[in-house]
Copies of this chain bind each other. A is one copy, B any other.
Amino acid sequence: MKLKGENIIGFKSSAKGTKTIQAFIPAKNEYFPDRFTQATTEELDTAIALANKAFPEYNALSYEMRAQFLDAIADEIVALGDVLVERCAAESGLAVGRIIGERGRTCGQLKMFAELLRTGWWVDARIDKAKPDRQPIAKSDIRRMLIPIGPVAVFGASNFPLAFSTAGGDTASALAAGCPVIVKAHSSHLGTNEMISSAIIKAAQKTGMPEGVFSSVYLSHEEVIKLVQNPVIKAVGFTGSREVGMRLFNAAVSRPDPIPIYAEMSSVNPVILLEGALLDNGQKIAKELTASIALGAGQFCTNPGLVLMVENETGKKFLEDFAIQMSATIPATMLNKNIFKAYIDGVKYLQDAPEVALLGKASTEAMDEKLEAQPIVHTIRAADFLSNKLFSTETFGPASLVVLCKDNAELGEVLHSFEGQLTATVHATIADELAMKSLISIITQKVGRIIFGGYPTGVEVCHSMQHGGPFPATTDSRSTSVGTASIYRFVRPIAYQDFPDHLLPDPLKNDNPLKLFRLVDGNWTSEKI
């Protein structure tokens, strides 16, 4: 597939600008020859105007039509074939097998939202019937449902070039909700973005979607702020660094009309190892935890960056096993130069800190010229950990820090000191139950997902997933970016009072044509009115 290197503005390719950027091959530390032209302000404005125009048209389509669009995107992505997989693997430094798996997840997500649209219950339809005879005043007929919030700006992540990017969870959930999407292409996978964007446009045209329902643009830092602050844009989805996330957050909330922004930014995902679990399963945990830390060069927002345990005989035995396991890991290429540099700096900070000791690392040296990260684990005493906030910040990559506590009470103190997290994990047995209960009570206030006896990496895409936690894990703990519940980020409620039946949207009509579960006078029912 020949890449054009152009922005996709509505249904057209467009490259009116003069500034170009190049895609990078991290494993070779060199650039692809092709160039991608950044959008001009005029092109960005055109994309936004098209989204604005498309919004009421797109919104007026039936849920079934939207579902067909999402299904078609999945089909067009699969139809791209190997050329997508190869380009995506080369741009991201990720293995072909991983990319194939991620493509499956991405298409699965799109089809999951199509299925959700067909069920219809997600609109939370509620009806309170009129009571004209009520005293002292008549009761009106009130009906309420969720409607799309408006055009959405999506900023994909580098670490999931498919599942969290151009046609990833944010785009899928926004399109499902009824919101046109403008994607700011990630510089780490420019070719992938162009292929996926073309697939989306093909799907849009095949299924009769209005032009403007999707655009994809390459943007400078200044243009990014213009996108977030444009009055047409009604919400923002972002996954990436805390620094960029906060820049976008501040842009969104300082608009004359502030808008919701869902920025997923930073999480160290503490893993708590209680003594009973280490006694019973220490070796197994050492092996599996190591695998979770090293998986995908540790480039997951759910990577276990901190391990909490009590420093006793059982703990010491575990640490020996852990060190051995870590030595068997192998270095892997990181996503891009910035992430590689940040990892090197983060690890160096730990290495230079006198209170930090090396526990174990990959026995093979990492090759800088291939942007490889060397998996590594350090230890620190809880008292030292608590004295410096920097030890609890995320080092994105296959590094983890073991916090050694005197006892479970001190472990609780460490948990209390944390900022918000995407996840926390507890390994425990019946013997640990008392300590565990009090620790879980602390954890519950800090995280979006608690895992028992497993590992935080591997985020199941389902109705029950919560991928999002208190700040700085995300800027909006009320939301998830994975699973069907992520559609709620891009909708808002509207109520219709005393409306003629034929003017109501289908979910609220008397005869319930979509056969939805609705809350009618306080009871959930799929009956007609």
Q: Which A residues form the contact surface with B (CB < 8 A)?
A: 55-56, 60, 101, 119, 121, 126-128, 136-137, 139-140, 142-144, 147, 149-150, 249, 253, 257-260, 419-420, 436-437, 440-441, 444-445, 447-454, 458, 460, 462-466, 468, 470-472, 475-478, 480, 485, 488, 491-500, 503, 517, 519, 522, 524
Given A128-B462, A448-B495, 18 new contacts (CB under 8 A): A119-B522, A126-B463, A142-B465, A249-B253, A249-B258, A257-B419, A257-B470, A259-B471, A437-B503, A452-B497, A454-B498, A460-B497, A463-B519, A465-B495, A468-B493, A478-B493, A485-B493, A524-B524
Provide the residues of chain B in CB contact with A500, threshold 8 Å: 452
Are the CB atoms of A451 and B491 closer together than 8 Å?
no
**Nearest CB of chain B from residue A473's CB, rounded to whole Å:** 10
By Cβ-Cβ distance, the 10 closest A-B pairs, closest first, are A466-B495, A144-B464, A142-B464, A126-B464, A257-B471, A451-B497, A128-B462, A449-B495, A253-B253, A128-B464
**Nearest CB of chain B from residue A300's CB, rounded to whole Å:** 15
Are the CB atoms of A450 and B495 closer together than 8 Å?
yes
**Nearest CB of chain B from residue A156's CB, rounded to whole Å:** 23
Are the CB atoms of A464 and B495 closer together than 8 Å?
yes
Provide the residues of chain B in CB contact with A258, threshold 8 Å: 249, 253, 471, 475
A451-B497, A452-B500 are contacts. A524–B517 as well, Cβ < 8 Å?
A: yes
**Nearest CB of chain B from residue A313's CB, rounded to whole Å:** 26
Are the CB atoms of A137 and B458 closer together than 8 Å?
yes
Cα–Cα distance between A157 and B516 once the two chains are bound (Å): 37
Provide the residues of chain B in CB contact with A494, threshold 8 Å: 444, 447-450, 466
Cα–Cα distance between A448 and B492 once the two chains are bound (Å): 8
- Whose C-beta in chain B lies nearest to the C-beta of A480? B493
**Nearest CB of chain B from residue A265's CB, rounded to whole Å:** 12
Are the CB atoms of A492 and B464 closer together than 8 Å?
no
Cα–Cα distance between A519 and B147 once the two chains are bound (Å): 21
Are the CB atoms of A497 and B126 closer together than 8 Å?
no
**Nearest CB of chain B from residue A109's CB, rounded to whole Å:** 15
Cα–Cα distance between A121 and B522 once the two chains are bound (Å): 11
Cα–Cα distance between A492 and B475 once the two chains are bound (Å): 12
Cα–Cα distance between A262 and B477 once the two chains are bound (Å): 15
Provide the residues of chain B in CB contact with A136, threshold 8 Å: 101
- Whose C-beta in chain B lies nearest to the C-beta of A488? B478
- Whose C-beta in chain B lies nearest to the C-beta of A497? B451
Cα–Cα distance between A402 and B150 once the two chains are bound (Å): 29
Cα–Cα distance between A464 and B497 once the two chains are bound (Å): 10
Are the CB atoms of A140 and B498 closer together than 8 Å?
no
- Whose C-beta in chain B lies nearest to the C-beta of A148? B445
Q: List 14 A-B contacts (CB under 8 A).
A: A119-B522, A140-B458, A149-B477, A149-B478, A249-B253, A260-B478, A437-B503, A450-B494, A452-B498, A452-B503, A454-B498, A464-B495, A465-B495, A478-B491
Are the CB atoms of B503 and A127 closer together than 8 Å?
no
- Whose C-beta in chain B lies nearest to the C-beta of A495? B466
**Nearest CB of chain B from residue A508's CB, rounded to whole Å:** 9
Cα–Cα distance between A522 and B485 once the two chains are bound (Å): 12
Cα–Cα distance between A476 and B55 once the two chains are bound (Å): 20
Cα–Cα distance between A81 and B354 once the two chains are bound (Å): 68
- Whose C-beta in chain B lies nearest to the C-beta of A468? B493
Are the CB atoms of B477 and A492 closer together than 8 Å?
yes
Cα–Cα distance between A524 and B140 once the two chains are bound (Å): 29
Are the CB atoms of B519 and A450 closer together than 8 Å?
no
Provide the residues of chain B in CB contact with A260, threshold 8 Å: 476, 478
Cα–Cα distance between A139 and B465 once the two chains are bound (Å): 12
A475-B258, A522-B463 are contacts. A150–B56 as well, Cβ < 8 Å?
A: no
Provide the residues of chain B in CB contact with A447, threshold 8 Å: 494
Are the CB atoms of B495 and A144 closer together than 8 Å?
no
Provide the residues of chain B in CB contact with A149, threshold 8 Å: 477-478
Provide the residues of chain B in CB contact with A471, threshold 8 Å: 257-259
**Nearest CB of chain B from residue A250's CB, rounded to whole Å:** 8
Cα–Cα distance between A493 and B458 once the two chains are bound (Å): 19
**Nearest CB of chain B from residue A445's CB, rounded to whole Å:** 7
**Nearest CB of chain B from residue A474's CB, rounded to whole Å:** 10
Cα–Cα distance between A253 and B466 once the two chains are bound (Å): 23
Cα–Cα distance between A219 and B1 once the two chains are bound (Å): 66
